[in-house]
Amino acid sequence: MKEIKECSPCFDEIVGYRRSVRIFDPEADYNPQIITKNLKRAILAPSSSNLQLWEFHRVRDGELRQKLNEACFNQPAARTANELIVIVTRLDKWEQRIEANIEFIKSQNAPEDVKKRAIAYYDKIVRRLYKWAKRYPSFLLKLIQWFNGLKKPVYREVSWTDLRISAHKSVALAAQTFMLGMSADGYDTCPMEGFDSKRVKKLLNLPKDAEINMIIACGIRKPEGIYGPRFRIPFEEVYYEY
């Protein structure tokens, strides 16, 4: 069995350094390329069926930034950040992403039967899941899976709402990868869901099925930008071993 290292100080430092910073330092030496670097790290996050239904909309200044601050209720993290990254789920791009995966599989130098199976997964299972979820009402899809599940385990998250949740899960992993990357580079973030999603969507000209996952304020902390010591429910209260 692979030996488990006691701890990885570097990773512990990164996780420990990340805090939600509400006041950023406008005087700090800030390099916007760090954001690009960490968004490139973010897209290495895992995603459901590797569909990568994410987008990153970066807003630095100008009128759009002012309006975005307002849509974030002018909360301090938004107001004082060097830039804001709007993390978006693009459920509407499911077909494009299926095709991209199929093209990638086709381009691979792998045994034909392996490629055929991988393509069938996208072409039949994933495509049908999204197509049906878009076309049929949730109660009908749930009823079908309830019936199918009477005798064997089945996948039950088949409605459009379930797929929205699935997209948000994957996109949030990219968001966290971004924030930890920023922390590794000594930069700071504040994830925010305190905003008017309708207004933000309108500002960015996003289509109906796109959703705002969160907005991440970015910059370099002022000491007073951390509002207090970290509070966590004790590990023993949230940990179960079977």
Q: Which stretch binds ligand FMN (CB under 6 A): 19-27, 33-41, 131-139, 153-161?
A: 19-27
Q: Which stretch binds ligand FMN (CB under 6 A): 3-11, 14-22, 143-151, 158-166?
A: 14-22
Exactly one of 193, 198, 207, 224 binds ligand FMN (CB under 6 A); which one?
193
Task: Please tell me whether residue 230 binds ligand FMN under the rule CB under 6 A.
Answer: yes
Q: How far is the CB of 27 from ligand FMN (least distance, A)?
A: 22
Burial of 220 (0-12, 13-18, 19+ CB in 10 A): buried
Count of all residues that appear for the chain in the document:
242
Task: Please tell me whether residue 197 binds ligand FMN under the rule CB under 6 A.
Answer: no
Task: Please tell me whether residue 190 binds ligand FMN under the rule CB under 6 A.
Answer: yes
Footprint on residues 110-149 left by ligand FMN (CB under 6 A) = none
Q: Which stretch binds ligand FMN (CB under 6 A): 42-50, 131-139, 152-160, 188-196?
A: 188-196
Instruction: Write a three-state SS string for the chain.
Output: CCCCCCCCHHHHHHHHHCCECCCECCCCCCCCHHHHHHHHHHCCCCCHHHCCCEEEEEECCHHHHHHHHHHCCCCHHHHHCCEEEEEEEEHHHHHHHHHHHHHHHHHCCCCHHHHHHHHHHHHHHHHHHHHHHHHCCHHHHHHHHHHHCCCCCCCCCCCHHHHHHHHHHHHHHHHHHHHHHHHHCCCEEEEECCCCHHHHHHHCCCCCCEEEEEEEEEECECHHHCCCCCCCCCHHHHCCCC
Nearer to ligand FMN, 74 or 148 (CB): 74
Task: Please tell me whether residue 93 binds ligand FMN under the rule CB under 6 A.
Answer: no
- Of all residues in the shown chain, the one whose CB is closest to ligand FMN is 194
Q: How far is the CB of 87 from ligand FMN (least distance, A)?
A: 10
Footprint on residues 20-49 left by ligand FMN (CB under 6 A) = 20, 22
In angstroms, what is the C-alpha Rg of the chain? Answer: 21
Q: How far is the CB of 31 from ligand FMN (least distance, A)?
A: 23
Size of the site for ligand FMN (CB under 6 A): 12
Contact 242, 217 (CB under 8 A): no
Task: Please tell me whether residue 50 binds ligand FMN under the rule CB under 6 A.
Answer: no
Exactly one of 14, 91, 192, 218 binds ligand FMN (CB under 6 A); which one?
192
Exactly one of 47, 171, 191, 220 binds ligand FMN (CB under 6 A); which one?
191
How far is Cα 87 from Cα 65, in angstroms, rounded to an integer? 15
* Contacts to ligand FMN by CB under 6 A: 19-20, 22, 75, 77, 190-194, 214, 230
